Amino acid sequence: MVLIKGALTSISLAILAVTAAAFPVRPTLEKRQDGDTSNGLTDLVTWDTYTLKVNGERLFLFSGEFHYYRLPSPGLWPDIMQKFKALDYNGVSFYFNWGYHSPKKGVYNFDGVRDVQRAIDSAAAADLHVITRAGPYDCGGFPSWLMDMASPARKSNPENDENCREWLTEIDKYLVPNQITKGGPIILNQLDNEYSANTDPGYLEMIKAKFLEDGMDVPTIYNDANMLHNFAHGPGSADIYGWDNYPAGFDCSNPNAWPNNRSTYYMEYHRLTNPEQPAALWEFQGGAFDPWGGPGYEACYEMVNEKYAKVYYKNNYAQGITIQNLYMTYGGTSWGGLSKPSVYTSYDYGAAITEAGLMTTKAYENKLQATFLHTVKPFLTTEHFVPKVDNSDIILVDGRAAVDAPTKFYIAQHWHTASNDTDEFHITIDTTDGQFEIPRSSKLVIDGRDAKLLVADYDFNSQHLVYSTSEIFTHLDMGSHDVIVVYAYEGEEGEFAIKINSDDVTVKVDDSVKYNVEDSILQLTYKHLNCTTPAYISGGSDQDLLILIAGYSAALRWWAPHVGDSYEERVLIQGPYLVRGAKVVESTVEFIGDIDKTTDIQIVVPENITSFSWNGKKLDAKQGEHGIWTAAIEFIEPDVQFTDLTQVTWKYSPASPESMPDFDDSDWVTCDRLSTNSITPHDTWPILYADDYGYHTGNIWFRGTFNGTSEITGFNLTAFSGSASAWMLWLNGEYLGGFDVGNHAFTDLNGTLIDPEGENVISVLLWTTGHEENGVSDDNYKQARGLTKSTLLGISNQTIWSIDWKIQGNLGGEDLADPVRGPYNEGGLYGERNGWHLPGFPDDDWEDASIPETKNRTGVSWYRTTFDVSIPEGYDVPMSLVFDDDTDTRYRALVFINGWQFGRYANDLGPQTRYYLPKGILNTSGKNTLAIAVIPLDKGAQLGKVILEPYGTLQSAMPAVDLVESPTYSDRQKK
Q: Residues 6 or more apart from 111 whose CB is under 8 A from it?
A: 820
Q: Which of 108, 122, 126 is nearest to 71 (CA)?
A: 122
In SS3 terms, 211-229 reads as HHHHCCCCCEEEEECCCCC
Q: Which of 227, 223, 267 is nearest to 241 (CA)?
A: 223
CA distance 132 to 116: 11
Catalytic residue among 65, 170, 194, 826: 194
Q: Strands 700-707 and 445-446, how do they pair?
A: unpaired
30 noted as active-site residue: no
Q: Output the DSSP codes for 755-784.
A: -TTSEEEEEEEEE-------TTSSSGGG--
CA distance 215 to 96: 18
Sheet holding 572-574: strands in order across?
Answer: 558-559, 572-574, 599-604, 629-633, 622-623
CA distance 722 to 731: 24
Q: Output the DSSP codes for 621-690.
A: -EE-GGG-EEEEEPPPPP--EE--TTTSPEEEEE--GGGSTT---TTSEE---S--S-SS--SSSS-EEG
Would the CA dihedral through 734, 738, 743, 747 be positive or negative? negative
CA distance 184 to 806: 51
Identify whether the C-beta of residue 469 lies closer than 8 Å to the C-beta of residue 437.
no
Q: Strands 321-330 and 61-66, how do they pair?
A: parallel
Q: Which of 122, 97, 107 is nearest to 5 (CA)?
A: 97
Q: Residues 6 or more apart from 212 whose CB is under 8 A from it?
A: none
Burial state string for 563-580 with b = 16 or more CB within 10 A and e = fewer than 16: beeebeebbbbbbbbbbb
Would the CA dihedral through 796, 801, 806, 812 be positive or negative? positive
Catalytic residue among 65, 170, 283, 773: 283
**Residue 861 bridge partners (DSSP):** 654, 934
283 noted as active-site residue: yes
CA distance 966 to 975: 15
How many residues appear in the chain? 975
Q: Which residues are the active-site residues?
A: 194, 283
